[in-house]
Amino acid sequence: MEILLKTLVRLGLTEVDAEIYLLLATEGPQKGRNVAEVLKLYKQQLYRSLKRLQKKGVIHATLERPASFSAVSLEKILDSLIEAKKEQALALQESREDLLSRWKILIKKEYTDS
């Protein structure tokens, strides 16, 4: 379980988000109150994390009130998180030269101003 938690954190989830995901994945759908009790989270912290996880497509919520939350399959999560990291790396690679040239201009300016 610890390895899964660390992997999810390395892929971009917060530790709390990863703990919530793993709880839902292993225990099945849960109400928010139940998740908060099991993980000893404050309500505000829990719902902030649940919102982030929904936005990332990591969990789903039912429309009923109170909502019940369930985990998306780990395979889909890993594919999605890996793809997001690849896109970030590509964006950084594409802006690399521009960033370096701006950095060089900034450094030269600092030395000439001193």
pLDDT at 110: 73
**For every one of its 114 residues, what pLDDT tens digit does the chain have, with 9 covering 90 and above?**
889 899 889 888 999 999 999 999 999 999 999 999 999 999 999 999 999 999 988 999 999 999 999 999 989 888 887 888 899 999 999 999 999 999 988 888 777 776
Alpha-carbon distance of 29 to 112, in angstroms, equals 62
> What does residue 11 show for φ and ψ, rounded to 5 degrees?
-85, 0
Q: 7 exposed, middle or buried (CB, 10 Å; 0-12, 13-18, 19+)?
A: middle
What CATH number is associated with residue 10?
1.10.10.10
CA atoms within 13 A on the CB side of 77: 25
Residues 33, 67 contacting (CB under 8 angstroms): no
| pTM: predicted TM-score of the whole model, two decimal places | 0.73
Alpha carbons 65 and 60: distance in angstroms, whole number: 14
Domain hosting residue 66, numbered range: 2-113
Q: What is the dihedral of CA 70, 74, 90, 2, to 10 degrees?
A: 100
Ramachandran region, residue 30 (left: φ > 0; alpha: ψ -120 to 50; beta: rest): beta
The pLDDT value given to residue 41: 95
pLDDT given for residue 114 in this prediction? 63
Structural domain count of the chain: 1
